Amino acid sequence: MIIFLDGKFVEEKEANVSVFDHGFLYGDGIFEGIRAYNGRVFKLKEHIDRLYESAQAILLDIGVSRKEMMDIVLETVRKNNLSDAYIRLVVSRGAGDLGLDPRKCPKPSIVCIAGSIKMYPQSMYENGMEIITAATRRNSADALSPRIKSLNYLNNIMAKMEANRAGVMEALLLNQEGYVCEATGDNVFIVKDGVLITPTIYAGILKGVTRDTVLDLARNFGIPCREDLFNLIDVYTADECFLTGTAAELIPITAVDSRIIGDGKPGPVFRKLLAAFQEYARSNGEPL
Ligand code: PXG
């Protein structure tokens, strides 16, 4: 595996960062998870734009242009001879001293890894997945906005551990007011009476690239869509529920906290959007 690290392509065993890197010491940094399908990097511009918005929010000067960053991603995938890939792009504050002051970190570190990821077993994509609601609440947007894709994922990891303990693969997180936010690494959608509903960004969520793609596809089909606040009762009584994410793609949810959703099978709106997404992802994106 060839990895991009601070301006150079290096072998995996040479791809090491400093123990003084503030990404390691404090989680001070940002990242993106991106996919390539069929020789094209899917929604590359959208991911790079979100990375630079995360950087802007944490006052991090990445030091390379968006165009250069897109080329770093494309070149990393090419160097590994991949046509389908899961790409991890990380920008940390860089090496500093043992204090948390970012002014002590003169140069951010940029890492790009192109590999693969498999989130859930294939049978769950076909038959649906059961999830729980985590007791851990999503961290509040005015403490650390979930819109920043930061290297601080402890909130999500704590919820993931609740899912593990419950014997399921995902957990839903609620915000401080009890509104549904998202899963640990995926956005959530419900369908009720033919309307597709997903939490508004003001619920305190990551504005997922897959989420936005699914909303676009649904609007093109003429499916009524709403970005709104909703509660667990709305999930329990929905006709359909599914999660979206770069890693997970689209996965149907057929039970939440032991409540069977709809008829307990992946629903028609989900199946229509999944087929449209797969077709769209295979044929769109930045060619390698
Ligand atoms: N919410 C959160 C908190 C995420 O981390 C999404 C939603 C979906 O966003 P996109 O843009 O991917 O549609 C994410 C992204 C993993 C993993 O291994 C998950 C993500 C990123 C990296 C790794 O579970 N999710």
Domains of the chain: 2-115 (3.30.470.10), 122-281 (3.20.10.10)
pTM for the predicted model, two decimal places: 0.97
Query: Does the beta carbon of 209 sit less than 6 angstroms from any atom of ligand 1?
Result: yes
Whole-number Å distance, alpha carbon 51 to ligand 1 midpoint, is 13
Q: What is the pLDDT of residue 118?
A: 81
Rounded mean pLDDT for each run of 10 residues along the chain, 288 residues in total: 98 98 98 97 98 98 98 98 97 97 98 91 94 98 97 98 98 98 98 98 98 98 98 98 97 98 98 97 96
Q: Write down the pLDDT at residue 117.
A: 84
Residue 15: the pLDDT is: 98
Which residue's CA is the closest to the ligand 1 atom numbered 17? 185
Cα(97) to centroid of ligand 1, in Å? Answer: 30
pLDDT for 119 equals: 79
Quote the CA–CA distance of 180 and 50 in Å, as a whole number.
Answer: 22
Cβ of 186 closer than 6 Å to ligand 1, yes or no, is: yes
212 CA closest ligand 1 atom index: 13
